[in-house]
Every structure is written in structure tokens, then in C-alpha cells.
Amino acid sequence: MLSREEERASILRILVATDCHLGYLEKDEVRRFDSFETFEEICSLAEKNKVDFLLLGGDLFHESKPSNSTLVKTIEILRLYCMNDRPVQFQVISDQAASLQNRFGQVNYEDQNYNIGLPIFTIHGNHDDPAGVDNVSSNDILSAGNLLNYFGKTDLGCTGVGKVTVYPVFIRKGETYVALYGLGNIRDERLNRMLHEPHAVKWVQPETGDGTPAYDDWFNILVIHQNRTKGSPRNGISELLLPRFLDLVIWGHEHECLIDPKEVPGMGFHVTQPGSSIATSLIDAEAKPKHVLLMEIKGTQYRPTKIPLQSVRPFEYAEVVLEDQVDVDPSDEATIHAHLHQIMSNLIEKARESAVTGLMHKLPLVRIKVDYSGFSTINSKQFGQKYVGKVANPQDILLFKKSGKRCKITQESTNSPGEVDMNELNQQTIEALISETNLQMEILSVHDLNSALHDFVNEDDKSAFHSCLQQSIEEARNKLTTAPEDSTDIDEQQISCVLDQNTQAPEKGTTAKRRTGSLNLQTTDTLSVFEEPRALESDDEPVESSDVEESGGSSQQAGRKRRAAPAAAAAGGRRKTDLASFQRAPTKEEDADAAKKRRAPVAAGRYGAVIRRR
């Protein structure tokens, strides 16, 4: 019986959720409490399941400057659920000040003045990212108040690609050792560049010996909050760019619930995408049932259990192509109305049925995407008036789009371009919008414009564009004064004409800068850098191969252990595990090169070797 107890004392239980968007639609009469109710449900699930801690994947807040009301409600919920006498049964054994960003430099439950029973760890997302002179995130408010443990915060500086060292939180519970890496949201474009750049991202790994186990006995989790792409690196991060020593990646930001951990072929880790706890876009992907994930980790094995969220407002989604409907007549608008009302009636009925199982009585969200090619649109507001008091969003039930061909349901991506919906615009990042237009500017770099636009929108910095313009012109002027041509007294119009002459100017700068002759002056900082020919050895593992050249650490990576996979991804020879049969994954031999590298000491706490970009 004792060994059973000991075994239990080694099982680290984590509840994983993300994108709670507290304060979302806080001014909407019907939906204003939605985000808080579900967050409270998540906290109560954490309590009910007696987890060791709650792990959030960013966007806890919907706004970078949450309203007073949102802050109060959030703090009240945290205080209700986090403060109690339950003993915390794990230890953080790394240098806490290195991974946790607050003045007190320790995990919240170790502060003797607070009685924390449920610790929460979170990174920031794109909605609650640090900003301003002090690089402060709304999460810092909660962290300062000792209500959560905010990790994964980075201060990249304003210029260049930037560098970041990811100090994980090393967690020990009994014989289970978990390295929890966090990387709060960085603009996709920039993180993409950093992940391609040698030495730009450093992953600190545990130091072995001295009571802590060997590398292979650590379970490595990364929490990340980015757009997720499997192919093109343009507007998101590819899983293939992440380091292979990881065992599990918790992917925030994507609102679609794809919570069952799924293996990434060739990378040796699984990805779980919990999805948001609240629908902020009325798209198909958000209509799927929302879940959180209970992770039980023992040694290097884990068991994921998805838990449905009951408090989420029902959301029914349908698509209709008017052309294909036999009962709709292009010359008779009434038939369109009748048809759409019929669909509405079905959807509301469906919502009511699903609501009964959830014991909830919330008005449902309903969205019908109407392909109206060959028809005229009907008045969407007028249509919705019939549903006031019956659905939660009468004002925007219908979404019209034009071409039936273009918009076949794209299951691959959460954002389906080609239609305009204000909610979706909210979801889309400014950077993505700019990059979509594929601007090719010669003086103003997309990067600088992005920053300016970001400062303008998110930081209320009204002089952002002006400063950006001034600075760019100044820079261009300076460049031109070193150029062979006469260029001391030029204006903005002239600059763009002169720039091409400037590509022969002597190239100074850091090794981080790579420039090809065909690129314009400022475009080293633009997206087009991704289009440079790169030394990729194979298409299958494009990034891995570049590692060989640059860090010499590939042999270490190549021999990485393969962990027992979770139940949901048992295919492909991986064993399905459950808690009763947790097994140690076979340790594989480490080659001499890798062993050498791993021995490299590190000053801070128990941190060991640094892996430079995988």
C-alpha cells in the first residue's frame, strides 16, 4: 500500500487551459459574464480534480489594458480559488527569479504571507503581452499581487532580431521531474526569424547530477502562444522549428479545440492545442465543444484526459450555398428569408438539445455563413431582430460571402480569408493584415510599420507613425550620405529612387544580418528575408539540417529519446499508457559529442546546458 502511496506522490497533476480572454465583450448585455463564468469553471475543475497547478497558455485577458471591472472580477475569482489551505505538493527547484518575472522573484506559494493552495502558471499571449516603457503585461498585475506565476516573459528590445534565453521552471514532485518552458507571444514574424537565426533562442536545460536525474528522466513541456502553421512560415510558427528535446508542446492562441496530444512526425514531441475557453470568432472552428486537459505526469510518461467545459455558451454554426437550395428563388427574397429562418429554427433547436445535457440555459450563439453567389444579400440586422431574446448574437447571425468556389471549408486553418467579419478581424493580428497585402516598400520597413501600428493601436501612442516615418527617413538619409551619389539635400520622394544605388554600400553589422544583393535597403528587416535561399538539406526536416551547420549539436538531437505517447496518439507503434501502467521509456545511448555538450555548466541555479535553437 505504501508503494501505491509513493507512486501517487510522484504523479504531477496539471490542468491545462488557454485563451480565457477575460473581459471579452464585457459591454455586451448578454455575453458580458461569459469569459468569467468559464474561467471560474476552469478554476473549480482544478480544485475538483485536485491538480497540483493550473497551467494557462496565454491570453488570460482579452485586453492588454483590462478594465477596472475585469481586473476586479479576475482577482476575485483567483482569490476565491487559489487561496486556501491545500498543501502544495511539488517544488520548483530552478532559480525562480530567472524564470518568473516579478519583483519578488519566487513562486507565489512560497511567499509566507500568502496561503496559496492552487498555484497558477501562465505565459502571456498576444492580447496581454508586455508593453510600454516598463515592459509590463496585465499578467504582471496579478503576479505583483501574488495571484499567479507569470513566466515566459521576454524583453527583446526594439532593434534587430533580438535574442532570448528561455529559462524553464524545473518542477519536482517525488520522482517526477518536469522542465516547464514558456515562451510568451512574440510576433510570429519575429519569432520565426529568431528560430531561424543561430543563437537567437537559447533553451536552458537542467543540470544533471547532484540529486537531479539524467536528461532523459526529465519531462520537457513547452507552452507557446503563436499562430500555428504546418507549412508556410509566413504568419505563424511551424512545429518543425521547435527543439526536439521537448516531449509535449502546449499550443495557445489557436482557438480551435484540438486538445488530444498529437505527434509531430520526426520531431519526437506531441502537441496539444487546448483551444480557447470562449468563442471570440463565430467560425466553424470555435463551434466545436471546448475542453480543458488534465495531464497526469509520472516520470516521463503522461496520461492526458480531456474534460468538457459545461459553462461555455452554446454555439451552432452552419454554412449554406443558396445556389444549391431547391426552395430558394433568386427573384424572390422571401424564399431566402424562409430558408434561412428554417435553418435558424433547426440550429436553435440543436442548441437547446445540447444545452440540456450541459444543464445550461444560456442563449446560444448562432452563425450562418451564406454563400449568396447569384443572389442578393438580405438585411442582416433586420433578419436578426426576430431572434432578440432567442440567441445571444441577433446582430450578427448571418455572414454573407460571395464566391462558392473560393470558400470551400478550409479545415486546415482557423482563419478563413476571403470574407469579412468583424469578429474575425479582432482575432487577426495587425501584422497578418499588413503582411497579407504583401507590401513591398523601400523606405518604410514592414517591421517598423508593424511596431508603429502596434504602438498606435495597443499603446495609444499617437505619435507612433510619425516617429516611425521620421526615423526611417533619417536612416535612409544617413545611408544616402555614405552613398557615392550626391544625396545631402533630398526629400522623401527622391529617396526611393536613389535607394537601389545604395545596395553596393559597404555592409556592416552583426553576423545576425544576412542580406542578398537583390534585397532593398530596409528589407533585411522585412518578411522577404524568409524568401532567401537557405541551406536546407532536406525538405522533411528543413530546420534540423541547418542545425548541423550552425551549432554542431545535431548528433545530440538525432539520438533523442522517444517517449511513450499518450493514448490519443497511440498509432505508429507508440504504446498507449494509462496511470496504472506508467512505464519508464527505454533510455537510449548518448553519444560522446552530446555528453560533452551537456556537461557545460551554467551559472544560475540548477540550470544546465543551453541548447541553441534545437
Provide the binding-site residues for its own copies, judged by CB under 8 A: 27, 64-65, 67-69, 71-72, 75-76, 79, 83-84, 103-104, 111-115, 131-134, 136-138, 140-141, 144-147
Q: Check if the beta carbon of residue 256 is closer than 8 Å to that of residue 281.
A: no
What is the rounded distance in angstroms from the CA atom of residue 529 to the CA atom of residue 514?
A: 8
- Three-state DSSP state, 201: strand
Cβ closer to its own copies: 18 or 108?
108
Cβ closer to its own copies: 100 or 237?
100
Q: Considering the complex, what minimum distance in angstroms separates the CB of residue 324 from its own copies?
A: 42
Cβ closer to its own copies: 104 or 530?
104
Q: Considering the complex, what minimum distance in angstroms separates the CB of residue 28 from its own copies?
A: 11
Rounded to whole angstroms, what are the CA distances from 529 to 401, 440, 445, 519, 536? 34, 12, 12, 9, 15
Active site residue 127: yes
Cβ closer to its own copies: 75 or 610?
75
Distant-in-sequence, close-in-space partners of 600: CB < 8 Å, separation ≥ 6: 608, 609, 610
Terminal Cα-to-Cα distance of the chain (whole angstroms): 42
Report which residue type is found at 458.
N
Cβ closer to its own copies: 69 or 395?
69
What is the rounded distance in angstroms from the CA atom of residue 311 to the CA atom of residue 383?
A: 28
Cell numbers of 266, please?
520526426
Q: Considering the complex, what minimum distance in angstroms separates the CB of residue 567 from its own copies?
A: 37
Phi and psi, residue 122, nearest 5°: -145, 155
What is the rounded distance in angstroms from the CA atom of residue 607 to the CA atom of residue 603?
A: 7
What is the rounded distance in angstroms from the CA atom of residue 350 to the CA atom of residue 359?
A: 14
What is the rounded distance in angstroms from the CA atom of residue 166 to the CA atom of residue 222?
A: 10
Cβ closer to its own copies: 129 or 547?
129
What residue spans of 224-294 are helical by DSSP H?
Answer: 284-287
Q: Which of 62, 127, 270, 339 is catalytic?
A: 127
Phi and psi, residue 599, nearest 5°: -75, -15
> What is the DSSP code (8-state) at residue 272?
E
Q: Considering the complex, what minimum distance in angstroms separates the CB of residue 75 from its own copies?
A: 4
Cell numbers of 498, please?
536613389
Cβ closer to its own copies: 140 or 188?
140
- β-partners of residue 181 are 222
Q: Considering the complex, what minimum distance in angstroms separates the CB of residue 104 from its own copies?
A: 8
Which of 120, 48, 88, 78 shows the shortest CA–CA distance to 305?
48
Q: Check if the beta carbon of residue 179 is closer than 8 Å to that of residue 168.
A: yes
Residue recorded with cell 502537441: 271
What is the rounded distance in angstroms from the CA atom of residue 532 to the CA atom of residue 193?
A: 12
Q: Considering the complex, what minimum distance in angstroms separates the CB of residue 144 from its own copies?
A: 4
Cell numbers of 426, please?
479582432
Cα-atom radius of gyration of the chain, to the nearest Å? 26
Q: Considering the complex, what minimum distance in angstroms separates the CB of residue 266 from its own copies?
A: 41
Cβ closer to its own copies: 132 or 198?
132
Q: Considering the complex, what minimum distance in angstroms separates the CB of residue 21 from its own copies?
A: 17
Which of 468, 437, 451, 533 shows the shortest CA–CA distance to 235?
437
Active-site positions? 127
